[in-house]
Structure 1
């Protein structure tokens, strides 16, 4: 049997450019203290912790939490590429749902370097070998950095099949900037227009400009999840419940389809969303607000279709009709998303959680989605893993 899991507290720090942040232990400790304060409990009540990061040494989770307290609890270090933060949340929820613990911390942080992502361990096989081979076969652009080749190639596949225009991706980025303008924790808060996005430096002619890619970012975010009994005993907020959650990894179709959209996780996201909708007994049309993995504007467009927010092939019309923002069908990335808020890899999933919990509590200030009752989170990591979480206002 499983029991209900509530998000009793969330916290994050303002995201910054590489070189402008504090060292990761201080960032992580601040986000943890913010989540504890939001929940109204002390660290001594936390029974387990799952700590996510990509670019740090083993047991960096202990180094981060020892600044908060040395209580002897299990601390599990998590690394699942860009879905690391939501993987930590997935494990924390499982611990509470199974009855293994009553109060668990999920924490994510990243202290990143400037520039494009690259390999750290160059003396051993890369976990991206299958993905690199697929990209080399399907996208003949060896001079383009791999992450851009992955997601730009996926966007290009959509453009070729459905006639999607480059300007449509610019509309996605412009929408992100309008949302981020109301988020004091976002890295970029300046509003840009579709035309300005189109006129930024070209990274791949006809496929991507610079502002269509998210920036390397430093930051941290955290969440406290607990059981109903624990919340009742300690007088904690039970207004937000994790209604359903699913985590998926790649299937053979990721490579056998010979489609860059599958290589970057379309099928993983589609299956995770299907599992969540089925478990919750709802459909995508019931969702009020979404935080999804817009590492590139191209991936936001693809994710609309993968999550069922619009029909496959219908994302361009969905965007042009304004159905992805306030006044449309579903508000996507009210935080500004990875494109404007920033993408500190290990923290992203928990920053998404923070935004959606605030939306469901009605405390999102100028970003508030009126009457939000169901909130969907989508966090993707190549290599690969995808976590989809549905939150419910109780």
Structure 2
């Protein structure tokens, strides 16, 4: 299945520690939000995430993405040295191409230290110790940073084999620094002369300081989707989609350790990955227009020209002298400034390359735009080792396809019209609308002060409700109006109805996957402000419906209805007890936690033989006490207690022990009989009214 990039985002790449409040969660949030905004999707649309970083504790990916919502999706943390970002991208692509997902996030970030890379753990084997040992055996070990020596020696080998001059490496650095002057995201944006580059401090001959990439802080993100997603769910996003024609990952070969300095730093594995991509995408190097490749050192960019087939083996010097690696030449290579000038936060680099190529293919690269770019090529390398090569192309869609946004799938039978009253929760949102538009509920709006998007799936399809309860604008509830919101809730029709009416605890619904949250998940707790009124409105509507039904019937039915309508005006001594329990539940949150059960009380007046039905719900997000005027409330109870009005008053006032009342048959208990003992929790709470 084809795979497309539809959203990209990245932070500025910064010198480590230069920017305040730029810890990895901050940079990850900035990049991901940018990618989501660019894509036109919400975080709740993401089905999986692959998060790359090298320096950090386990589960930094979860820490970063939980800021956007805890939707329960798989989040996989990835580490593949300098190829970490592209490895996350590779895994996201494989998940989509394998038909296992339709919308996946690839995120990479790094918070680094200043100075050259060093060894973090000295009490265990180093993953690149074999590379360093072979280098030291053949070329000796000098005082410079190990990575500079590895890549510098590859440059020396190329000079020895093909006659390449030090100035050719310097010209690459000069080009990349020049390219970066047009990239506002670049860590450095300075232009240098060839002399300045050649005369900067020598790190490991032929490499000077300005030919080496810096350490950096930064993040980049990309949203990838399947062809099915674009065709069926969001055809409105097709026009800006960039297709990943092919992506390949390779690791070290036996030839890596056979004595060649160039192979030691990935020449052969780069060549193999490129060949796989060209073959799979049915393209050749000559078809490529713009390239982002791994120039951690200028020497690596030079040898990679040949590994990718951009020029013949040994032909890099002439390739550079002709200007075939920059604007006006055959290719534009590293228009972003490359790692040398843009910066190199290890986990972000591979995805930042994807970002750059997509900008050019979409014609959005600004001053550095490669005109007429149709195919882009990415190369990302990590010692230890891994290499990822990918080819991209602006997607071409047949003429005549509709780009109309279709948030809702077609209904069976061909109808595409869905109305709010086809959903069980439609009445929930009607009640909320009445509530937030009531002039007497100004304090409610101040308490909530947030906007919500509800994505509800029912038998009819999917619908969206927007509830805007912000104090700075007039509150409203809109059906099937898709707009940004502070908190997004996704659920099935039945499940959301149960949560909003208190039948299902919201936290249990979230943990069981029935309710998904994104945006600011803490705002979901404020929904309890609506819950009580919602239940009242639904009960009122239910009563009105039953009144209409029964009043149509003559004789005894009419008498029965009249009797039901009069029940709310009949006074029982226990009425005050239930009122006091409701008051205490609102004040004392620990009381509901201690009880943690739903009770149904059937209270009978011994003189008139009239009955009242009460429900005490201590399980819901908002504990409630309700009088059921219709004798048939559908709320399920854990424990049902039947007794007389006088007996119940005696039990709650402490004058009669519940167990004695039970054994003397003054108290009838069904359901979980052990919960009857918890009635003592209400005793002290109800004393004040007696």
Q: If the TM-score is normalised by the length of the shorter chain, which range does it land in? A: over 0.9
The alignment status of 1:225 with 2:227, answered yes or no, reads no
1:138 to partner: Cα distance? 2.0
Aligned match of 1:240:
242
Q: Secondary structure at the residue paired with 2:92? A: helix
The Cα of 1:129 is off from its aligned counterpart by 1.7
The corresponding residue for 1:162 is 162
Larger RCO, structures 1/2 (Cα 8 Å, 6+ apart): 1
Whole-Å separation in 1 of the counterparts to 2:206 and 2:356: 30
Q: What is residue 25 of structure 1 aligned with on the other side?
A: 25
Q: Which residue of 1 aligns with 2:373?
A: 372
Among 13, 16, 25, the residue aligned to 2:14: 16
Map of 2:359 onto structure 1: 358
- Give how far 1:336 is off: 0.5
Partners of 2:147 and 2:295 in 1: CA distance: 13
What are the equivalent positions in structure 2 for 1:81-120 lying under 5 Å apart?
Answer: 81-120=81-120
**2: CA distance between counterparts of 1:230 and 1:20?**
40
Greater mean deviation of Cα atoms: 159-168 or 346-355:
159-168
Q: Deviations over 1:56-75 (max 9, x none)?
A: 11101111111121111000
Shift of 1:144: 2.0
The yes-or-no answer on 1:135 pairing with 2:135 is yes
How far apart are residue 229 of structure 1 and its match?
A: 2.2
Aligned to 1:255: 257
Equivalent position SS for 2:14: coil
Inter-partner Cα distance in structure 2 for 1:387 and 1:160: 28
Map 1:32-47; keep pairs closer than 5 Å. Answer: 32-47=32-47
SS of the aligned residue for 1:347 comes to: helix
Residue 347 of structure 1, CA deviation: 0.1
1:67 counterpart SS class: coil
Which whole-Å CA distance do the structure 1 matches of 2:151 and 2:138 have between them? 12
Distance 2:156 2:289 in 1: 29
For residues 200-231 of structure 1, the C-alpha deviation after alignment (integer angstroms, 9 at most, x for no partner) is: 11122x41111110000110000000012212
Native 8 Å contact 2:207 2:297 kept in 1: no
1:134 offset after TM fit, Å?
1.1
Q: Deviations over 1:156-195 (max 9, x none)?
A: 1111111111111110011001111100000110111111
Consecutive unaligned residues in structure 2, runs of 5 or more: 396-690
Q: Deviations over 1:223-243 (max 9, x none)?
A: 000012212412224531000
Give the count of matched residue pairs: 390
Provide the rounded CA distance (Å) in 2 between the counterparts of 1:99 and 1:164. 47
Counterpart-to-counterpart distance in 1, 2:342 and 2:116: 17
Distance 2:373 2:241 in 1: 12
Rounded to whole Å, the distance in 2 between the matches of 1:142 and 1:195 is 25
CA contact (8 A) 2:171 2:194 kept: yes
Structure 1 residues 329-372: Cα deviation after superposition (integer angstroms, max 9, x where no partner): 01000100000100000000000000000100011111111111
Q: Which residue of 2 aligns with 1:302?
A: 303
1:209 aligns with: 208
| CA distance in structure 2 between the partners assigned to 1:226 and 1:270 by the alignment | 28
Question: What per-residue deviation string (whole Å, max 9, x for no partner) do you get for residues 112-147 of structure 1?
Answer: 001111111111111112111111112213322210
Q: CA deviation at 1:280?
A: 1.1
**8 A Cα contact 1:359 1:369, kept in partner:** yes
What is the aligned partner in structure 2 of residue 285 from structure 1?
286
User: If the length of structure 1 is used for normalisation, what is the TM-score?
Assistant: 0.98
Give me the whole-angstrom Cα distance separating, in 2, the residues matched to 1:69 and 1:153: 47
Contact 1:139–1:149 under 8 Å retained in 2: no
SS at match of 2:106: strand
Q: Which residue of 2 aligns with 1:186?
A: 186
Determine if the alignment matches structure 1 residue 6 to structure 2 residue 7.
no
Question: For structure 1, which segment, 157-166 or 106-115, has the greater mean C-alpha deviation from structure 2 after superposition?
Answer: 157-166
State the distance in 2 between where 1:81 and 1:275 align.
22
Contact 1:290 1:375 in 2 (8 A): yes
- Normalised TM-score (structure 2): 0.56
